[in-house]
Amino acid sequence: MQFFTIMYSKENTIALQDSTQSFLKNIPDVLTSKEETEKLRDVLRFHEYRYYILNDPFISDGEYDQLFKLLERTEKQHPDWITKDSPTQRVAKELTGNFLTVQHLVPMLSLDNSYNEEDLRDFDRRARQLTGLDSIVYSVEPKFDGGSISLVYENDLLVRGATRGNGVQGDDVTTNIKQIRTIPLSARFSDYGLQQVEIRGEVLMNKENFKKYNEALIEKGLAPLANPRNAAAGTLRIKDPSEVRRRNLEVFVYHISDYTLLPGKDTPKALLSHDASLQLLWELGFRSPVHEMHVFRSIDEVIAYCREFEEKRDSLPYEIDGMVIKVNDIQLQEVLGMTSHHPRWAIAFKFKARQGTSKLLNVEFQVGRTGSITPVAKIDPVYIGGVTVSSISLFNEDVIREKDVRIGDTVLVERAGDVIPYIVKPLTELRSGTERPITFPSHCPACNSTLFKEEGEAAWRCVNIECPAQVVERMIHYVSKDALDIRGLGEANIKKFYELGLLKDIPGIYKLNFAAISQLEGFGAKSVEKLKEAIEQSKKQPLHRLIFALGIRYVGETTAKVLAQKVNHLLELKDLSQEALQTLEDIGPKVAGSIVHFFSNEDNLKMLQELEALGVEMNNVQKQTHGSGELEGVTFLFTGTLPTLKRSEAEAMAEAKGGKILSGVSAKLNYLVVGKDAGSKLDKAQKLGTVKIITEEEFLKMINT
């Protein structure tokens, strides 16, 4: 097995440092030869490597800047001397338009997850069984928590950087990728006989940079970013490369997914095992987890290392949410192969959810768009898993009673899946006797109307349709992405316009005073024009999106499609009885009753008539004609996270072939298409026994035949 040490030998290092001092002693206005210019580029690349990869700089930031500016001046005077991998070529102008969608050379599959030792032992058992070996050598490395990317190098030059996207296709973010200094613009793959290489990596913002960046935002009066993961992934799709550069992102590369050889060259020995491939990438100037990665010959050693890493995760400069275990031998990886969702030669060991303790200070009661009252716990801010948590939903009165949570309690807080915080339990043994029960209000905190609880429900509701809190929440839902998708009119602006008296109800969205809005801070001519355009476009959204946007209780996206298919005009729904509605696919008494209640309310009908008068399309101009597709009358339901498709995309594909989408598992369901983390719907389908359970791959074969 061939291993590598560092990118620059001792001799190279001495020579480059001597060149550095020579340039710094007498910095000219410009260099006069192409050879000297290339030597300066080599010097700058060396110092970038020392600073960004090794975190061990040899010169000061000021000295580096002097050399960089010398190169800039020289290239400006001699533009024909500029090379594609020059350090100056990381700088780019602001992007215009949307990011292009590009196809990965090899699909970026998800990893199967494990949560305990038994899962890992089962993975090892399956791997040994499939290979016929008594033992397998594994490599183990951290599972970095950031944004996944794919890098393509051709003839030693970086030619493309892309986001993971749906695993098959992603966004071309090459310009932004070039702003990240831990990604070389060129690498000597040709020294190893490689012509084209595709590399997987994870874009990260380390904890320290994340903290500094958020502090700067707060000083400017701007909202801080949620966590390092979102910060890293979101930054990749920013259209201002200079902003990308300011956020100081880093990249760890962890896998060579595909490569082609130069004519007459054989596969290098370094690509016969995973650990050697990481060493190769390190040697070529990439930051790979060579120091964090270890190779083990038994699953017991793997488990011990995972536990060791879990103990020290908080001391690391980056967020990690687990460990990745890979079969180290590349040939064995090929033998094991992969499913449509994940490779059989790798598995992720997920760490336990983050927990912390805090003090419950108070409980506020918030009003949702349907009038439901949600208790929200206000706690002493506590840092859990890279996020400062200060507010936690307590869901409803029953949860409060079941947990016996009291104001003043010390509570155990957990981020489920490292994302959603919730209170696990109060630490009752720490009570001092000063804790107070949480008193659920009898009247709406927004309008003081008496609250009502329906039989069989947990939530208390405000039934005053004019309640200001509900009005605002209904407007927020109406403009949301899955509803009418009015970009530029999100939650913050809805609340702002409402408070200023510029907006009082949903029809008011189409009567906004743009002259007044243009006087507000942050609303220039360009943003106002975009808002106008988005509002105008919303009038032509398909009928099912308008139905969903109305926020009728129990009517989700699937039910909205069923209702839209039934009518030629929205207001025809007011003529349908509860019994007639229940004859429609997957609409039961509860949903039907809610629809009848909505369309029998005179205020709602007046609102719809006003919307139509304002130009909102209520005719079903996109009504489908069933009977022409090969899957006419066949029913589908999708559950879990699909490997490559969004659920909405899969549903549209089924409907285009004449299929129908149901919202729940019943005897009417023909196919349940399951993805990752399929839950109760899968269990119900298995118990029912009449539903055919298929994968996304099987569904696509059905669609494409």
Tokens in use for 366?
A: 């918030």
Strand partners, 443: 450
Q: What does the alpha-carbon distance between residue 352 and residue 505 come to, in Å, rounded to a whole number? A: 45
CB contact at 8 A, 102 and 182: no
Alpha-carbon torsion, ordered 588, 591, 597, 598, to 10 deg: -140
| Cβ-count burial 254-289 (b if 16+ within 10 Å, e if not) | bbbbebeeeeeeeebebbebbbbbbbbbbbbbbbbb
Tell me whether residue 62 is exposed, middle or buried, using C-beta atoms within 10 angstroms of its C-beta: 0 to 12, 13 to 18, 19 or more: exposed
Amino acid sitting at position 59: I
Tokens in use for 590?
A: 């509860």
Alpha-carbon torsion, ordered 249, 252, 257, 263, to 10 deg: 90
Active site amino acids: 143
Nearest to 634 by CA among 701, 585, 695: 585
Instruction: For residue 210, give the 3-state DSSP assignment.
Output: helix
Angle of helix 228-235 relative to helix 207-219, nearest 10 degrees? Answer: 80
Nearest to 159 by CA among 197, 118, 203: 197
Nearest to 284 by CA among 198, 381, 189, 400: 189
CB contact at 8 A, 396 and 459: yes
Regarding beta strands 635-639 and 660-661, do their DSSP bridges make them parallel or antiparallel, or are they unpaired? parallel
Q: What does the alpha-carbon distance between residue 27 and residue 40 come to, in Å, rounded to a whole number? A: 11
Upper half-sphere CA count for residue 227 (Cβ side, 13 Å): 19
Kindly tell me the sign of the dihedral angle through the C-alpha atoms of 110, 111, 115, 118.
positive
CB contact at 8 A, 268 and 188: no
Cα–Cα distances (Å) from 514 to 5, 373, 478, 488, 620, in that order, read 63, 34, 19, 13, 30
Instruction: For residue 138, give the 3-state DSSP assignment.
Output: strand
Q: What does the alpha-carbon distance between residue 585 and residue 28 come to, in Å, rounded to a whole number? A: 78
**DSSP 8-state assignment for residue 414:** E
Q: What does the alpha-carbon distance between residue 639 and residue 548 come to, in Å, rounded to a whole number? A: 20
CB contact at 8 A, 452 and 460: yes
Q: What does the alpha-carbon distance between residue 284 and residue 289 come to, in Å, rounded to a whole number? A: 13
Cα–Cα distances (Å) from 191 to 270, 283, 301, 400, in that order, read 12, 11, 35, 65
CB contact at 8 A, 149 and 164: yes
